Every structure is written in C-alpha cells, then in structure tokens.
Amino acid sequence: MRRIDPTTPETVGARMPSIDDHTEESITQEPTYVETFDPAADDQPCEAIVSAVSALLEADPLELSPLYETIETSALDSLFEHANRKASGNHQVWFTYEGIDVGVRSDGRIELIDSSGQASS
C-alpha cells in the first residue's frame, strides 16, 4: 500500500461523488486522507480501509470497532475482486466507519473524509 498526499497534483480534484452526499459543501470537500491498495496483487480493500482509518485517527487498528459491524466485509472484498477480474469499469462504495466517511474504488483508491474533525491534525 502507498499513502498519497491529497494535495498533490495527481489527487487534487479527484473527489469521488457519492449518492449519500447531501450538500454542495460535501460534494466539493477534499479528502482528509488517501491510501491505495493494489487489486491486481490481490490486496484486500478491507485490510487497507482499517489501516487507513487507524492511521488517520492515530489509533491502533485493534482499538477500532470491527469493520464487519459496519459493512459486509466479504461482500466488499468480493465486489472489488470481481471488478478487477472482469475489468468491468470503475466501481465505488461509500460508507461511514468510526465516524469517517470512507470511499473505496475498484482501482484501489481509498478516500477518507473526516467531516467531524475527530482526526488529529
């Protein structure tokens, strides 16, 4: 996995839209933290999500609630495994975990948005 600074030219303006976005402000809000996983190398998005959220919150991953209490982890991993295997376009999923909005794309990009301000600065 490689961490990406969301202010670099390759990430600025790359916001993934979500049907859960309710305001103009949330549509244009830049990610607080970006991480990637490599779907071609069989990296599992669920592992990368927990790693990214724990890094953003500066918490031990074992201190976080289990991801499966928020989202069906096997279904999420299967969705992205299928999308990678079939090369069927770019899929994305948004959900909230530990108070952080998490966006995951089948190309391996994970965006975290801390709307609550709970992440350390």
User: Which residues does residue 33 pair with via DSSP β-bridges, in sequence order?
Assistant: 112
pLDDT digits (tens, 9 = 90+) for 49-97: 999 999 999 999 999 999 999 999 999 988 888 777 766 667 889 999 9
pTM: 0.71
What does pLDDT average to over the chain? 78
Residue 62 phi, psi dihedral angles, 5° rounding? -75, -15
